[in-house]
């Protein structure tokens, strides 16, 4: 634990100036000074706006689709990784990767230019998966900036067995750690903990989903007999690790919490709320005290069903989806006082899979210009990549049949990774499936090793580079060159 201390808070404008100077220095160090495509940071799962999209710089071309995607990508470096499925995060020319190694959970800081490991920290891990999947973490870390200065940023890891830890980004020093599965008597979910931390001000908020202590005697896999105990979400002081509040009466899912700003339909205009897609319900909570404002049920009526995608937000409208039986739904949320209303905009017919618009499993859809681009389906035989209208659920096109995939957006281009390792460069348009190029990353080429199944993480894009993960390996690849006008 770290002791509370007086902090000198740097004014936001001055802190922004420090960050701008750091951006220039990072650009020169990576050789991007003349033509960085995107901003250099990717601080959390799906980026800091939950969009799964890279943020273009002013020097980027208007159309990313116009770049030469047919040239094979240069591989800058490779990183061997241990068990786990999540990809890492990036801050100021450093990549942070969280995995399992020799019965420990490990966080490493890697120089983004060279691939050199700058520091490595770990702690013991005692976890075995019920279904034989890998023992490592399922989710990405989260980085939080600090008003104390650019060297005081924190990174939070949330392990597969419920260990939440705060580290210094600069030094790797452990600031505090706590096992939330033990603290709140969590009945083991099918595949362990799989939800990334959320930073809201001076809080770190995580999905826990605890149960009464006596339910620890349940036999493995009997999640259907577990009952919640009001600890779906837990808020902790991000400097000390002290618990601020608990809220939400549900069990945990594999989705990650996010914020939503409602636009004035209720009495709390412009206020941020917490949005969580838990095991049984979509929840709206007050981030200041954890009070529930409302929920709506959405889950397939079978024991082994899971909810995993992060909710998609457009104004007051929220899309959630699962692949087992319920499909997708869009709700218009409004708040009046301390009560939320969930009005159905459209909803898939339960149990009629062939008639459903979207059946999201592990990956989160991309929303771009009122259209969703997403993998739909539970596993290889019945999966595809598709485009649908967010407002109506109308499916515009389907492609890449029979394989699951994930995607990241870069301007008007989608970088779609099949779980087998091929990367498909697709124009983000509802008119048709417009494939610009295919990078066969599952096949070795030159100094670049092959990506191995499973590739279940969407790529991370920073500057002119892309980080992509397969089994036991992360590749750092170049994006196509461009000449800014």
Q: Would you state the pLDDT for residue 270? A: 63
Confirm whether 265 is domain-assigned.
yes
Confirm whether 371 is domain-assigned.
yes
Whole-angstrom distance, CA of residue 168 vs CA of residue 151 = 8
Q: What is the CATH number of the domain that holds 278?
A: 2.130.10.10
Residues near 344 by beta carbon (within 8 Å), at least 6 away in sequence? 329, 330, 331
**What are the b/e assignments for 366-384, b being 16+ CB within 10 Å?**
bbbeebbbbbbbbeeeebb
Q: Count Cα atoms within 13 angstroms, Cβ side, for 213.
A: 2
Strand 312-314 and strand 198-200: the pairing is unpaired
> What are the 10-residue block averages of pLDDT along the chain, 485 residues in total?
39 48 46 72 98 96 96 95 97 97 98 98 95 94 85 95 98 98 95 97 97 92 94 98 98 98 62 95 97 97 94 97 97 93 97 94 97 96 96 98 96 98 98 98 95 97 97 97 75
3-state secondary structure of 14: helix
* Secondary structure E strands in 93-151: 94-100, 104-111, 117-124, 142-144
Number of domains comprising the chain: 1
Confirm whether 348 is domain-assigned.
yes
Confirm whether 450 is domain-assigned.
no
Confirm whether 282 is domain-assigned.
yes
> Residue 282 belongs to what domain range?
258-361+364-397
CB 480 within 8 A of CB 474: no
H-helix or E-strand spanning residue 15: helix 12-29
**What are 85's two structure tokens?**
């499925």
Confirm whether 393 is domain-assigned.
yes
How many residues are recorded in the chain? 485
CB 251 within 8 A of CB 226: yes
Q: Would you state the pLDDT for residue 25? A: 47
Q: Give backbone dihedrals phi and psi of 167, rounded to 5 degrees, phi first.
A: -125, 155
β-sheet bridge partners, residue 206: 234
Question: What pTM value is reported for the model?
Answer: 0.92
H-helix or E-strand spanning residue 247: strand 243-247
Q: Rounded to 5 degrees, what angle do the CA atoms 115, 121, 124 make?
A: 130
Tokens 């068990």 -> residue: 83
* Secondary structure E strands in 257-411: 258-261, 272-277, 281-285, 292-297, 312-314, 317-321, 328-336, 339-347, 366-368, 371-376, 384-389, 395-399, 405-410
Would you give the DSSP letter of residue 27? Answer: H
Confirm whether 329 is domain-assigned.
yes
Q: Would you state the pLDDT for residue 3? A: 36
CB 107 within 8 A of CB 122: yes
Q: Would you state the pLDDT for residue 148? A: 72
CA–centroid distance for 215 within its chain: 30
Confirm whether 266 is domain-assigned.
yes
**What are 302's two structure tokens?**
């079978």
β-sheet bridge partners, residue 445: 448
- Sheet strand arrangement including 317-321: 312-314, 317-321, 328-336, 339-347
């Amino acid at each position: 634990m770290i002791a509370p201390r007086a902090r000198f808070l740097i004014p936001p404008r001055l802190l922004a100036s420090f960050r701008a100077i750091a951006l220039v220095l990072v650009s020169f160090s990576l050789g991007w000074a003349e033509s960085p495509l995107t901003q250099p940071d990717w601080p959390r799962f799906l980026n800091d706006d939950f969009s799964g999209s890279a943020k273009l710089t002013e020097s980027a071309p208007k159309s990313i689709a116009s770049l030469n995607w047919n040239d094979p990508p240069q591989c800058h470096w490779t990183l061997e990784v241990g068990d786990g499925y999540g990809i890492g995060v990036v801050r100021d020319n450093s990549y942070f990767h969280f995995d399992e190694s020799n019965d420990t959970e490990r966080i490493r800081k890697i120089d983004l230019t060279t691939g050199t490991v700058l520091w490595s920290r770990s702690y013991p891990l005692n976890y075995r998966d019920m279904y034989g999947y890998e023992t490592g973490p399922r989710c990405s870390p989260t980085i939080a900036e600090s008003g104390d200065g650019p060297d005081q940023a924190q990174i939070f890891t949330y392990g597969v067995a419920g260990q939440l830890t705060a580290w210094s980004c600069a030094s790797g020093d452990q600031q505090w750690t706590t096992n939330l599965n033990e603290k709140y008597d969590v009945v083991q979910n099918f595949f362990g903990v799989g939800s990334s931390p959320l930073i809201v001000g001076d809080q770190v908020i995580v999905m826990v989903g605890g149960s009464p202590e006596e339910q620890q005697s349940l036999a493995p896999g009997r999640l259907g007999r577990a009952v919640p105990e009001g600890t779906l979400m837990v808020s902790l002081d991000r400097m000390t690790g002290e618990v601020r509040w608990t809220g939400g009466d549900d069990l945990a899912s594999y989705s990650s919490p996010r914020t939503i700003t409602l636009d004035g339909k209720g009495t709390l205009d412009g206020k941020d709320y917490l949005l969580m897609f838990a095991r049984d319900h979509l929840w709206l909570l007050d981030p200041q005290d954890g009070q529930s404002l409302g929920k709506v049920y959405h889950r397939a009526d079978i024991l082994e069903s899971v909810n995993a995608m992060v909710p998609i937000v457009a104004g007051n409208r929220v899309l959630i989806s699962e692949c087992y039986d319920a499909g997708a739904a869009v709700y218009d949320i409004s708040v009046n006082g301390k009560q939320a209303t969930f009005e159905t905009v459209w909803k898939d017919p339960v149990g009629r899979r062939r008639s459903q618009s979207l059946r999201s499993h592990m990956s989160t859809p991309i929303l771009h210009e009122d259209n969703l681009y997403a993998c739909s389906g539970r596993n290889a035989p019945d999966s595809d990549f598709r485009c649908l209208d967010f407002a109506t659920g109308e499916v515009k096109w389907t492609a890449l049949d029979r394989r699951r995939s994930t995607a990241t957006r870069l301007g008007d281009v989608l970088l779609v990774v099949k779980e087998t390792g091929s990367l498909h460069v697709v124009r983000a348009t509802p008119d048709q499936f417009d494939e610009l190029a295919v990078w066969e990353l599952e096949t070795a080429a030159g100094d670049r090793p092959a990506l191995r199944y499973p590739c279940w993480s969407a790529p991370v894009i920073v500057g002119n580079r892309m980080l992509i993960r397969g089994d036991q390996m992360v590749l750092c690849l170049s994006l196509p060159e461009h000449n800014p006008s």
